Chains A and B, each alone.
Chain A
Amino acid sequence: MKSLAELEEIRKKTLDQINLRTNNQDVRVVVGMATCGIAAGARPVMNAFVEELSKRNLSNVAVTMTGCIGICKLEPVVEVIDKDGSKVTYVKMTPEKVARVVAEHIVNGRVCAEYTIAEAEK
């Protein structure tokens, strides 16, 4: 059974790491989380991002959500916004695709072209 007292341990443990790094969040991951997105499976996609980023300890990435972007048939839709403001829109996302987007795009800076909206609309 989890107890609230464990939060104190987490606090102590993570405090040092927080002081070491700057709290700048360079990259933003925005998941479409309106009715259309949720029904299409956006929640597991979002949790996959959190899990994958956590595994790689990428605390400079913010995961957030937005409403309907207007392309419901391509949900789950995820936008990855780099620190220079450039935006890549990934469509029909799955937790499996998330692992690749994190490894290739967020870590190595190479856009996964085949998952983007440009590719889907061809």
Chain B
Amino acid sequence: MRDLSLHLMDMIQNSITAKATRISILICADRESDLLEMEVKDNGIGMESDFLKNVVNPFTTTRDTRRVGLGIPLLEASANRASGELKITSEKFVGTTVKASFKISHIDRIPLGDLAQTMEGIIIARPDIEYDLTLDNKKERFNFNSSDIKRRLGEVPITNFEVIKWIGEYLNDGVKTIFGGILDEILS
């Protein structure tokens, strides 16, 4: 995976497979501690403790088309390469939280990537799910909540092309405001 937004898409896809109806995403970049963290929390079916123990193993998967699953191992590899780590907690029938951390200044830290494109894509494909995205730099926060948007739109569907375009621009503004100058790939 080339950037964090692609890993995010992959993790969201995992949550959708786990029948989540609510997915909360927190991306926090703290200049002081030089730490970038991404947390994806869902209310899906969760994992048994035995499955959870082996979930970073590429040969652990729920898919039935192949015996390998690379989404989580790839995210762990990306985190480890940038002096970070991956933590997964899960409770059966309650949900799963995946948290990856990265040292911001590490030369191998992957860039944030096109976060807006990831969110546009998942909203258009699965508008029934509630998404909550928070961007945080420990001084300022930006929040996007799909239920809030739906409430404002009334009878206009969130998948309307005009709406999707607006969401993309809105998120890009948020990324620039919160991470501009902190993640060096994003200009302030």
Contacts and interface: CB of A to CB of B under 8 A. Distances in A.
Interface stretch (A2-10, A86-94, A96-104, A114-122): A2-10
Contact of B17 (A57, A67, A69): A67
Nearest to B168: A47
Interface stretch (B6-14, B44-52, B98-106): B6-14
A50 B120 contact: yes
A113 interface: no
20 contacts: A2-B169, A7-B166, A11-B152, A13-B162, A15-B156, A18-B160, A33-B9, A33-B125, A34-B10, A35-B74, A38-B1, A43-B6, A43-B114, A43-B121, A46-B124, A46-B125, A64-B125, A65-B122, A65-B125, A67-B13
Contacts of B65: 68-70
Interface residues of A, number: 37
Contacts of A14: 156, 160, 162-163
A81 interface: no
Interface string B144-174: 0000110011111101111111100110010
